[in-house]
Homo-oligomer: A and B are copies of this chain.
Amino acid sequence: MNLAVTVAEIRHFLREQFPQTSIEVESVDAQGAWVRQAIGHAHLRPGGTVSGPTMMATADCAAYVVLLSRIGLVPLAVTTQLSINFLRKPAADRDIRAHASLLKLGKRLAVAEIRLYSEGGEAPVAHAVATYAIPPR
């Protein structure tokens, strides 16, 4: 699959469209996209671990980035479904990195699989599947 846009274009688009996010796009290639959420106090929860909503937001962003990389900078692609399994306790002092790849890219629906890791860890801390509705072009 060819990429529809460069990683620089995606970064610029996210900064404009989602100025409040602190998730960074690391890389995008034919296999998928990597994003990173730096973890600070606001992302933690009791037990010294990263909160579920932080991981859900990172998974959703990773899926959006891989989708944009294939269909171009379409602001109105929206998540219709997201399912996440929390597998292991993430480290409180490490960034969360997420890798998303596309299971399906149809005309109307795309489905992405996302794996989340604490930086440096080999086993995923969470696994998600997200569906996006693609507006008619």
Determine whether the beta carbon of A83 is less than 8 Å from that of B81. yes
Query: Is A111 an interface position by the 8 A CB rule?
Result: yes
Give the Cβ gap from A124 to chain B, nearest Cβ, in Å. Answer: 7
CB distance from A137 to the nearest CB of B (A): 15
Asked whether any CB of chain B lies closer than 8 Å to the CB of A46, the reply is yes
Complex interface bits, A106-131 against B, C-beta within 8 A gives 1, otherwise 0: 00110101000000000110010101
Q: Is A33 engaged at the interface, CB distance under 8 Å to the other chain? A: no
Interface size class of A (residues with CB under 8 A): 35 or more
Known: A109-B80, A111-B127, A127-B113. A57 touches B53 (CB 8 A): yes
A103 to B116, CA, bound (A): 12
A113 to B, closest residue via Cβ: B127
Given contacts A80-B86, A81-B84, 20 further A-B contacts (CB under 8 A): A17-B46, A18-B45, A18-B51, A46-B75, A53-B56, A53-B57, A53-B60, A56-B57, A57-B57, A79-B86, A81-B83, A83-B84, A85-B104, A87-B104, A88-B104, A103-B127, A111-B127, A113-B127, A127-B129, A131-B131
